[in-house]
């Protein structure tokens, strides 16, 4: 009873944390269909549903907004073999840089010794297959499968192949490269000329610069990415109008009530609205449109 309750609660929290959590449950059931014959399975299911019910109710009351955001309103694109191959390549690298091929070779080659390992194997292979299929028509992010690091480690850590010198050296080299890259990302971008490193520096000064150029008006972004960065680095609520963008959480917060001025400073990544140009630390061009009311901006949609 206690274990079933804790498992049901854990599943509910898993769904709250990330919708991808449903993949763990689905592929576990696919790997172990006999779970359906256990009474405890239905207790776990009831507790998970009860725990997740407030969110399901919210979804119903708001026209299933987040489900529409992820599964319906995501922009589709034409078939791209390159995009799918890049996804596969990144999954291999994320599994251990130089030892990634070894990790996946072990997962595919070794037979599951017990039900637990069978479930882990189904989760690992099934999740990659799911997002690989999605990559055929939509953009995917490599980090969506990062949770697979746990089942992959459990599946391959006891393999005999790690005792081989060449594989052991590749493992050490992989760990060393990760440590070096983490240090590189901490260093100022002027020290190490890596374009990707610019993404992690300069945002605080950039946000302060935006605030100075917009003063004394309140600030509003046109995407949740812009508004989220400004909110974090300025330590204040920055709304987002999501013009030409999918409806998201900012649309439900009704930020207009908290804007300190009637006229706002609009930060947009869309050049068709005009305004002053400003570069982000990663080199993207944004536009500052001043002295606009919320009503005027909504008409731009």
> Taking the C-alpha atoms of 157, 160, 165 and 167 in order, what is their torsion angle to the nearest 10 degrees?
-50
Report the SS3 class of residue 262.
coil
Contacts of 17 (CB under 8 A, 6+ apart): none
Name beta bridge partners: 266.
220, 289
Is the pLDDT confidence value at 183 over 90? no
Is the pLDDT confidence value at 76 over 70? no
Q: What is the pLDDT of residue 301?
A: 59
Report the SS3 class of residue 274.
coil
Taking only the tens place, the pLDDT of each residue in 262-274 is 778 889 888 777 7
Taking only the tens place, the pLDDT of each residue in 4-56 is 999 999 999 999 998 889 999 999 999 999 999 999 999 999 999 999 999 99
Using CA atoms, how far apart are residues 19 and 25, in angstroms rounded to an integer? Answer: 11
Taking only the tens place, the pLDDT of each residue in 231-251 is 999 998 888 887 667 777 777
Is the pLDDT confidence value at 78 over 80? no
Let me know: does 270 contact 251? Beta carbons within 8 Å.
no
Q: What is the pLDDT of residue 256?
A: 67
Rounded to two decimals, what is the model's pTM?
0.84
Let me know: does 233 contact 204? Beta carbons within 8 Å.
yes
Q: What is the pLDDT of residue 34?
A: 94
Work out the average pLDDT over 67-83.
77
Q: What is the pLDDT of residue 54?
A: 96
Is the pLDDT confidence value at 299 over 80? no
Domain parsing of the chain, residue ranges: 2-71, 81-177, 200-298
Is the pLDDT confidence value at 217 over 90? no
Mean pLDDT of the chain: 87
Look at 282 and 110; give whichever has higher pLDDT: 110
Q: What is the pLDDT of residue 138?
A: 81
Q: What is the pLDDT of residue 270?
A: 80
**In the structure encoding, which two tokens stand for residue 68, read together?**
């529409």
Quickly list H helices, the chain.
Answer: 2-17, 21-31, 39-61, 65-71, 81-94, 100-109, 115-135, 149-156, 165-186, 203-214, 224-234, 250-253, 294-298
Place of tokens 């393999």: 159
Work out the average pLDDT over 249-268.
75
Q: What is the pLDDT of residue 244?
A: 67
Taking only the tens place, the pLDDT of each residue in 86-105 is 999 999 999 999 999 999 99
């Amino acid at each position: 009873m206690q274990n079933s309750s804790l498992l049901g609660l854990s599943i509910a929290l898993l769904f709250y944390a990330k919708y991808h959590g449903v993949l763990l449950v689905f592929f576990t059931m696919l790997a172990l269909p006999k779970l359906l014959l256990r009474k405890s399975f239905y207790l776990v299911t009831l507790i998970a549903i009860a725990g997740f019910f407030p969110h399901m109710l919210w979804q119903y009351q708001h026209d299933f907004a987040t489900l529409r955001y992820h599964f319906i309103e995501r922009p589709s694109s034409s078939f791209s073999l390159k995009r799918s191959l890049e996804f596969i390549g990144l999954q291999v690298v994320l599994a251990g840089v130089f030892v990634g091929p070894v990790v996946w070779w072990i997962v595919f080659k070794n037979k599951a010794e017990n039900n637990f390992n069978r479930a882990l194997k189904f989760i690992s292979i099934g999740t990659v297959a799911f997002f690989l299929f999605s990559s055929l028509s939509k953009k995917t992010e490599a980090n969506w499968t990062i949770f697979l690091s746990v089942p992959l480690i459990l599946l391959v850590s006891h393999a005999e192949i790690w005792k081989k010198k060449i594989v052991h050296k590749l493992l050490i080299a992989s760990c060393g490269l990760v440590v070096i890259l983490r240090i590189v990302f901490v260093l100022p971008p002027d020290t190490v000329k890596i374009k990707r490193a610019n993404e992690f520096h300069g945002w605080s000064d950039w946000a302060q610069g935006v605030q100075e150029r917009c003063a004394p008006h309140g600030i509003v972004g046109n995407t949740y990415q812009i508004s989220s960065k400004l909110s974090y680095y300025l330590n204040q609520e920055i709304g987002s109008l999501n013009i030409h963008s999918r409806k998201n959480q900012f649309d439900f917060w009704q930020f207009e009530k908290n804007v300190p001025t009637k006229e706002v400073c609009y930060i947009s990544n869309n050049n068709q609205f005009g305004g002053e140009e400003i570069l982000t630390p990663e080199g993207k061009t944004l536009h500052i449109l001043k002295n606009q009311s919320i009503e005027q901006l909504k008409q731009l949609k």
